């Protein structure tokens, strides 16, 4: 069973300036819940109760969000407003929250390596909260954890994207071994459409085996001059140790304004109004 999930939450969120000037992008709400809480709920539902946050400067409100607000609890206790705290109380009851600071922004691979002391020598999930994934059935990490039981190797979530968008993603090539399941042979970070090995893009959900840390330590900066998790995974893929999985559910790119607005409308119509 996978017990830990890593949340790289140190990024700047420049696409949402000025909103993100003094507020972490992960705290932007989709309706009335911060993006990062959707991610934490998905991880906990998958049994990954230890949430390891890789934070940075200006991100304290994230760690505060996953702690008791004594004053608020005191004020609201016994009032008609208690229901508003139900989801976060549930998360606090089930989850354990730890954090480490990433002092320099050297890429997603570097962020994951920074989280090593919180993970140790066991397989773990990684969730990028910009990618909001919603499914009426089991969440994406739950689906991936089941696949890990079967394959015992690293798993990446993928989705088909328009060919002209490949430069925004890690892109895989592989052999289909079951419906929506590929044994990965090749992975490229942010290829131009002409260089992309397929239109199957990596979405922000991973299950990684802990040998990835040693590989990351020896991974040179790649696309954008950053240490890329995609490049480290390529080393595992060459040994046939990466599975890509076309998950069930909808994904919203909440790192972009159009995706954020789309997610807001979707959650408002399908979850908030249905309550
Ligand atoms: C990161 C990864 C990329 C992946 C993407 C998913 O890129 O490096 O491989 O496809 O997340 O959202 P970023 O969006 O941080 O540039």
Q: What is the pTM of this model?
A: 0.96
Distances (CA, A) of 67 to 27, 53, 57, 115: 14, 13, 18, 20
Instruction: Assess whether the C-beta atom of 119 lies below 6 angstroms from ligand 1.
Output: no
Distance from CA of residue 194 to its chain's centroid? 27
The residue whose CA is least distant from atom 15 of ligand 1 is 108
Q: Where are the beta strands (DSSP E) in 56-151?
A: 96-101, 124-127, 131-134
Instruction: Assess whether the C-beta atom of 107 lies below 6 angstroms from ligand 1.
Output: no
Ligand 1 centroid to 255 CA: how many Å?
10
Across the range 33-62, mean pLDDT stands at: 97
Q: Does pLDDT of 275 surpass 90? A: no
Ligand 1 centroid to 237 CA: how many Å?
18
Atom number, ligand 1, closest to the C-alpha of residue 189:
9
Question: What's the CA gap between 242 and 185, in Å, rounded?
Answer: 8
Q: For 163-194, what is each residue's pLDDT tens digit?
A: 999 999 999 999 999 999 999 999 999 999 99
Q: Does pLDDT of 258 surpass 90? A: yes
Structure confidence at residue 78 (pLDDT) = 87
| Adjacent-strand bridge partners of 269 | none
Q: Does pLDDT of 86 surpass 90? A: no
Across the range 261-266, mean pLDDT stands at: 98
Question: What's the CA gap between 254 and 28, in Å, rounded?
Answer: 10
Across the range 138-151, mean pLDDT stands at: 98
Across the range 35-59, mean pLDDT stands at: 97
Surface-to-core class of residue 141, CB atoms within 10 Å of its CB (0-12 exposed, 13-18 middle, 19+ buried): buried
The residue whose CA is least distant from atom 13 of ligand 1 is 169
Q: For 105-140, what is each residue's pLDDT tens digit?
A: 999 999 999 999 999 999 999 999 999 999 999 999
Structure tokens at 2: 């996978």
At the fourth CATH level, the homologous superfamily of domain 4-274 is Spore Coat Polysaccharide Biosynthesis Protein SpsA; Chain A (3.90.550.10)
Q: What is the mean pLDDT of the chain?
A: 96
What burial letters (b/e) apply to 147-175, b meaning 16+ CB within 10 Å? bbeebebbbbbbbebeeeebeebbbbbbe
């Amino acid at each position: 069973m996978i017990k830990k999930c890593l949340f790289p939450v140190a990024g700047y969120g420049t696409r949402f300036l000025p909103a993100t000037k003094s507020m972490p992008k992960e705290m932007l709400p989709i309706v009335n819940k911060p993006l990062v809480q959707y991610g934490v709920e998905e991880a906990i539902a998958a049994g990954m109760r230890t949430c390891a946050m890789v934070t940075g400067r200006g991100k304290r409100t994230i760690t505060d969000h996953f702690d008791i607000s004594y004053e608020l609890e005191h004020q609201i206790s016994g009032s008609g407003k208690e229901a508003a705290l139900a989801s976060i109380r549930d998360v606090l009851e089930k989850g354990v929250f730890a954090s480490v600071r990433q002092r320099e922004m050297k890429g997603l691979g570097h962020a994951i390596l920074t989280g090593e002391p919180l993970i140790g020598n066991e397989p773990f999930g990684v969730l990028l909260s910009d990618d909001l994934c919603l499914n009426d059935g089991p969440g994406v990490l739950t689906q991936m954890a089941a696949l890990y039981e079967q394959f015992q190797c690293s798993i990446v979530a993928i989705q088909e994207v328009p060919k002209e968008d490949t430069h925004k993603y890690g892109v895989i090539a592989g052999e289909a071994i079951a419906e929506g399941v590929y044994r990965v042979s090749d992975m490229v970070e942010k290829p131009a459409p002409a260089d992309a090995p397929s239109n199957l893009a990596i979405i922000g959900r991973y299950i990684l085996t802990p040998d990835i840390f040693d590989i990351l330590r020896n991974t040179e900066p790649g696309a954008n001059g950053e240490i890329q998790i995609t490049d480290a995974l390529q080393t595992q893929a060459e040994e046939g140790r990466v599975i890509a999985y076309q998950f069930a559910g909808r994904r919203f790119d909440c790192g972009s304004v159009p995706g954020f607005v789309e997610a807001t409308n979707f959650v408002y119509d399908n979850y908030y109004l249905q309550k």
